[in-house]
Chain A
Amino acid sequence: MSRSPLRRSLATPVLLGLILVAFALVAWAVGSKPFNQTIIDIFLKVIFAVGLWVFIGNSGVISFGHIAFACLGGYVAAWTTIKPMMKGISMPGLPDWLMQTEIPYWAAAAVGAGWAAVWALIFGAVLMRLSGIAASIATFAMLAMVNSIYSNWDSVTAATSSVVGIPIVRSVWPYLIAAILAVVLGWAYGISRHGLALRAARDEPTAAAASGVNIPRMRLIAFVVSGAIMGMGGALYAHSIGIVTPDTFYLGLTFITLSMLVVGGMGSLSGAVLGVLFLSSLIQGLRWLEAGVQVGTSTFALPGGVQEIALGAVMILILMFRPAGIMGNRELTLPRAGSDTPGRSGPTN
């Protein structure tokens, strides 16, 4: 058979991975601390956007709640990596075994992913029976619930005060590896039979059910996979700044990550990744302009606040002219020789 869609789609994660590597190399070459931190932040956003895409892109159900899983992961990092003595002060209610636990950041990221996946399974078992706007509102309620619990259960979360002392990881490489891992996971999910069945159910639910697809179950699988990716991202986010509060993982992060997904195009994995790269670069560029650029002898600076306004305007313009996002439903692939098929449907085509 001439047709091997699975192998052909391998180009997508490879190309996306190479782009991410290029970003890391630039950070390494520039060698400035703030720039390094900017690139780390981009990699974290890639992880979040890919996590969102796994569920939203494939199911068509908008979730406002996924940052809750990042919160779960972030606090796992706090619980498992802060020095026991410091934990005793800020979070005295932790059980003794957890108080004594001190694991490396990468292990915390793995545990954070697992912990978030468990909760995605629990929440998802209820939520995945809902559809459309009801499901979206319910995911938002989940975010509010998690935020509220973490803001009030002070003996294990220090409530709304900052939990400090999370070992900071300043090298870009671990974040690069995690971002590539997220892309590969997202791709593998997308080409799996579960991904295919879920996209079919997204486009034509009645026909999918008549084809034997158990729609709530397919959604649940995507929800758990995406929850795990968000949990990993949340833990690494905590390690990138060394400090967490419940509001670190709330509306602000929800809004920016969803915007990146929508601008990039939630119909494709490439859209998720490129949306992050595009909007992050734009934000960074505007920040530099606000801070002031030396032109000859005078300094040119945008007035404060222009960054938010310009960002909003650019997003609106893009969505006006490309409602399906920058990538539409297309994936980044190598130009195909001798094929007349316009690949338009998710990562397998």
Chain B
Amino acid sequence: MSELSADKVSVAFAGLKALSGVDLTVASGQIVGLIGPNGAGKTTLVNVLTGFQAATEGSVRLDGQGLSGLRPHEVRRRGIARTFQGGRLFRDLPVIDNLEVTGVGLGQSRKAAIAEAEAMLDWVGIAPLANRIAGTLPYTDERRVAIGRALMGRPAFLLLDEPAAGMSAQEAAELSALIRRIAEELGCGVLLIEHNVGLVLGLCDHIVVLDSGAVIETGPPAAIRDSERVRHAYMGTAAETDLPVLEVEA
């Protein structure tokens, strides 16, 4: 059992307060949702958790141990993996090599990395894509490759930044099933950032709502669904007024 937490994390960009005093905890096997309107600070929090962004105040802890000062690759080697908004695959490399990079990045030989990559593609359900050049893949396949790449070396935590963006309801449902397997079968603690609130409500054990860099609500899905404050925060952004209507079956 492992625990990843942000402890009163604040980040300021030249006057702009992107995060102020944010607390958040993810435990092994748990799926925690992180929602909030555009610019709320969700990606910034993931960047802080993975060493891409230093916190101005506060700290990040893995099982009580501080992670501040670690560089991104060092954070990854401690078992905290992430994906990016927009994929960031190694576009010129075949899919299998995309996964292999993580293997060798974590210190495996190429042979061992290839073997794990093949098994992982199978597990994620994209084995037929192994030799496709990553840059030629459609959107939804890209996301799965990114998730497979992040899962190499069996990280204890996986932070997903808007994995369902642009997906149809059907594709989102498949992704949802995959995320559930990641938590249940791999025992991975998942932090899920998503604008598809229906997906988050249907999938997460616990949800944190950010607005303008601050946590405005936290609790189980039912509580978030009924929160006036959350509804209000989302009113500001026209695109997101469809709060909790879209329901995704478990």
The interface of chain A, by Cβ under 8 A from chain B, is: 1, 3, 6, 191-194, 196-197, 199-200, 203-204, 206-215, 329, 339-342, 344-345, 348-349
Contact = CB atoms under 8 A, between A and B. Distances in A.
Contacts of A214: 71, 73, 105
Contact of A212 (B91, B94, B133, B153): B153
B5 interface: no
Interface in B111-170: 113-114, 118, 130-133, 149-150, 152-153
Nearest to B75: A210
Contacts of A193: 104, 108-110, 113
B82 interface: yes
A11 B247 CA distance: 54
Contacts of A199: 90, 93
Contacts of B93: 199-200, 203, 345, 349
Contact of B76 (A196, A200, A212, A339): A212
Contacts of A207: 84, 88-90, 149
A317 B109 CA distance: 42
Interface of B: 50, 52, 71-73, 76-77, 81-82, 84, 88-94, 96-97, 100-102, 104-110, 113-114, 118, 130-133, 149-150, 152-153
B133 A209 contact: no
A199 B109 CA distance: 16
Contacts of B107: 212
A210 B50 contact: yes
Contact of A342 (B52, B91, B133, B152): B133
B109 A209 contact: no
A1 B96 CA distance: 13
B133 A341 contact: yes
A199 B9 CA distance: 34
A57 to B, nearest CB: 13
5 contacts: A203-B91, A207-B90, A210-B52, A213-B105, A344-B92
A143 B144 CA distance: 46
Given A341-B131, A345-B133, 10 more contacts: A3-B96, A193-B113, A200-B93, A203-B93, A209-B52, A209-B72, A211-B102, A211-B149, A339-B131, A341-B133
Contacts of A200: 90, 93, 101, 105
Given A193-B113, A207-B84, A213 B101 contact: yes
Nearest to B102: A211
Contact of B84 (A194, A206, A215): A206
Given A196-B104, A203-B90, A212 B118 contact: no
Given A200-B90, A345-B92, A211 B76 contact: yes
B88 A345 contact: no
Q: Which of B93, B113, B149, B152 has the most CB of A within 10 A?
A: B93
Contacts of B118: 1
Contact of B88 (A6, A192, A204, A342): A204
10 interchain residue pairs of minimum CB distance: A212-B105, A193-B104, A209-B72, A211-B102, A213-B105, A207-B88, A212-B76, A345-B92, A211-B105, A200-B101
A192 B88 CA distance: 23
Nearest to B100: A196
B97 A345 contact: yes
Contact of A206 (B88, B94, B108): B88
A341 B150 CA distance: 24
Given A207-B89, A210-B82, A342-B133, A197 B94 contact: no
Contacts of A203: 90-93
Given A196-B100, A203-B90, A3 B130 contact: yes
Nearest to A4: B114
Contacts of A212: 73, 76-77, 102, 105-107, 153
A6 B105 contact: no
A117 B244 CA distance: 62
A208 B133 contact: no
A107 to B, nearest CB: 33
Contacts of A208: 90, 101, 105
